[in-house]
Amino acid sequence: GDHSGTYLGKCLNGEGIYAILDLQQETSGYLMLDITACEGTIVRIACGEHLNDMGVNTAADAGFYCGEIKCKKGRNVYMNCIHRTTGRYMQLFAETDDLTIHYAGIISESYPVDKDACKFKCNDSLHNKINKNAKNTLIMCMKEYYEDSPYNRMWMSSMNARIQMLAGY
């Protein structure tokens, strides 16, 4: 994807490299990586809504989504179609200096709706931006069930979900 906000660097301890990718907006879907690495290279992945101290918060209590893959020699294409993840930012850590990132991102998964069915236009650009973000969040919560939050993947009680769907959809 368009990672115009990508930052690459060496780990401070000198043991590897990292990349921070700006996905340009909050995205919910399936993790996809296309990388070239040496045999046995471990790549750790973290996704989140914001950056703390120039990185995705990977503290265990922060609600982050993190995983790791162990690479074979050469090109590795990985897509996890079972576990959805959400975030605006993705951070990759690799315990090597020899890694090529061909693609890293979240393949969007959303319920098929007409995203332009609800028209909203206002002279206030802040209200237009709030509407765009609210619509994006609603669409990310529309699955085969209704989610309370795409980031936390919270399932709602049936009555709360009913009211949210009737009002939101």
pLDDT of residue 157: 62
Query: Which tens digit of pLDDT belongs to each residue from 61-105?
Result: 555 556 889 999 999 999 988 877 888 889 898 888 888 999 999
Residue bearing the bigger pLDDT, 78 or 117: 78
Q: Does 157 or 117 have the greater pLDDT score?
A: 117
Sequence-distant (≥ 6) Cβ neighbours of residue 128 within 8 angstroms: 120, 121, 122
Question: Residue 97 gets which letter from DSSP?
Answer: S
Coil, strand, or helix at residue 81?
A: strand
CB 97 within 8 A of CB 16: yes
* Chain position carrying tokens 């690495």: 37
Residue range 1-10, pLDDT digits in tens: 455 566 666 6
End-to-end Cα separation, the chain, in angstroms: 29
Q: How confident is the model at residue 133 (pLDDT cuts 50, 70, 90)?
A: confident
Burial profile 32-45: b = 16 or more Cβ within 10 angstroms, e = fewer: bbebebeeebebbb
